[in-house]
Amino acid sequence: TTAHLTIDPHFVVGPINRRLFGSFVEHLGRCVYDGIYEPDHPDADEHGFRNDVAELVRELGVTTIRYPGGNFVSGYRWEDGVGPVDQRPRRLDLAWHSTETNEVGLDEFARWLRKVDGELMYAVNLGTRGVQEALDVLEYANHRSGTELSDRRIANGTAEPYDIRMWCLGNEMDGPWQLGHGTPEEYGQLAVKTARAMRQVDPTLELVVCGSSGAGMPLFGTWERIVLEETYDEVDYISCHAYYEPVGGDYESFLASAVDMDRFIDSVVATADHVKAVRGSKKTINISFDEWNVWYQSRYAEVDRITDVNDWPVAPRLLEDAYSVVDAVVFGNLLISLIRHADRVTAASLAQLVNVIAPIMTEPGGGAWRQTTFFPFAVTSRLARGCTLELKLDCPTYRTERYGEVPVVDAVATHDPTTGDTAVFLVNRSLTDVVDISIDTSILGDVSVESIVSLHDDDIHAANTRDQSERVGLKPNDSARFVDSELHISLPPVSWTALQLR
Ligand code: AHR
């Protein structure tokens, strides 16, 4: 099979916001406790955070980190997590049927973020709470001093305000599983009141209103329209969430998951722009794709989920998916979709970061390792700089059960005008065929291949586990060769490839 790609740095889709490489830490399972935080671990720092995990987080290249949930946030009282640790209450976490010890809260998490160089994106509880509690946590976090709440932060050890820029107005309020879930009108009215109040404190905050928790939700499209009709003037982003898994062994469709993500983004953009048109507004609402990943959600429902009324464990093993090669190829393709839409998707969060549907896994008292999905994320975050380019891609298609005819190859290219570097990210979705792709680089001038790596394996189900933590990794792709100004590369079946031209 052959394919052809033309790259031209004059055709720009939009600048790539570094916030596209965000992630997400929720008080869920072992993401916080026994994940980023394990005071008894031999490699823990004086605050209880694991150095080995922090090092992997830095290597992953994540930027903004969403916190503290997720479904968790819709029952969370932020003030439980500040002040003397030994006086903090233990609470029921209804979202994950667990006990929350509150050993880690806003101040500890912000301290950890400084260690990993991350930006805090904070979600407020609009499930069981409302305007006042959102104002309180805003004042605690961002107000300099001289009020009860800002002085409490200072007394708790943080003199400088956190200056949190991005705030999520609740989480997945369209989902019946969400504490406080209601109609789009109800949520939209609460979100706009909260947004207005928060803007009375600081009009420059960047506010994210909840879109649908998935494109398959019954109100998808309607939810976005009504919520934006209520909130348009007061918010900056609408959120998208999407998770993918193979259904009934249909890997052809699974490998085309990014087609669904593309359509999802296009639909939300169209809906936001419809509301803009009806209102005659000059303002544009962008997307915060603040939960995305491969997630074996059916396994959670069938195996992991805790329901016994007497069972409320602390930091249980939940959502600990072990990602395979094929999962990582789909995952790399989802990143391609996000970057392709850089003009409208200006923030994104990989859900999640450690142990819970995560690129990084840990064992209590033991090691930390990279899942297969770690590699496409780290390389894309490092190489996708500058702006996204429009591409001309010619390739065959194949038929899928879920998404109809889809291209065998997907690709996105980025170009950094300051360094002159160009990066191309490619996926071969074929389960059987090598694709020989030729890339016309003539307009880039005299470039050479700075690096080219692929993620693939003869066993597409191979994964990294505690006992075989380095089974899967990136391989140099040594097929690349120039014929005049055409670069020829072989893409193995079920593979993800990153090419850097300089
Ligand atoms: O990321 C896991 C969960 O998925 C989040 O808590 C929730 O927002 C979503 O349904």
ipTM, 2 dp: 0.99
User: What three-state secondary structure class fits 451?
Assistant: strand
The residue type at 121: M
Nearest CA to ligand 1 atom 9: 70
Q: Is 351 in the pocket of ligand 1 (CB under 6 A)?
A: yes
Contact 291, 351 (CB under 8 A): yes
**pTM of the full structure:** 0.98
**Torsional sign, CA 103, 107, 109, 114:** negative
User: Angle between the 257-279 and 222-231 helix axes, to the nearest 10 degrees?
Assistant: 40
Q: How far apart are CA 136 and CA 79, in angstroms?
A: 9
Query: Looking at ligand 1, which atom is closest to the CA of residue 28?
Result: 6
pLDDT in tens, the chain (502 residues): 999 999 999 999 999 999 999 999 999 999 999 999 999 999 999 999 999 999 999 999 999 999 999 999 999 999 999 999 999 999 999 999 999 999 999 999 999 999 999 999 999 999 999 999 999 999 999 999 999 999 999 999 999 999 999 999 999 999 999 999 999 999 999 999 999 999 999 999 999 999 999 999 999 999 999 999 999 999 999 999 999 999 999 999 999 999 999 999 999 999 999 999 999 999 999 999 999 999 999 988 888 899 999 999 999 999 999 999 999 999 999 999 999 999 999 999 999 999 999 999 999 999 999 999 999 999 999 999 999 999 999 999 999 999 999 999 999 999 999 999 999 999 999 999 999 999 999 999 899 999 999 999 999 999 999 999 999 999 999 999 999 889 999 999 999 999 999 9
Q: Does the CB atom of residue 321 touch ligand 1 within 6 A? A: no
Q: Which of 23, 25, 26 to mutate to test the pocket of ligand 1 (most atoms within 8 A of CB)?
A: 26
Ligand 1 binding pocket includes 69 (Cβ within 6 Å) = yes
Q: Which of 93, 291, 305 to mutate to test the pocket of ligand 1 (most atoms within 8 A of CB)?
A: 291
CA nearest neighbour of 451 among 473, 422, 427: 422
> DSSP state, 304?
I
Pairing of strands 449-455, 495-501: antiparallel
What confidence score (pLDDT) does residue 303 get? 85
Mutate to test the pocket of ligand 1, among 23, 24, 31, 172 (most ligand atoms within 8 A of CB): 172
- Ligand 1 centroid from CA 67, angstroms: 12
Q: Is 29 in the pocket of ligand 1 (CB under 6 A)?
A: no
- pLDDT the model gives residue 302: 87
- The confidence score (pLDDT) of residue 306 equals 94
What gap in Å lies between CA 62 and CA 471, rounded to an integer? 23
Contact 23 CB / ligand 1 (< 6 Å): no
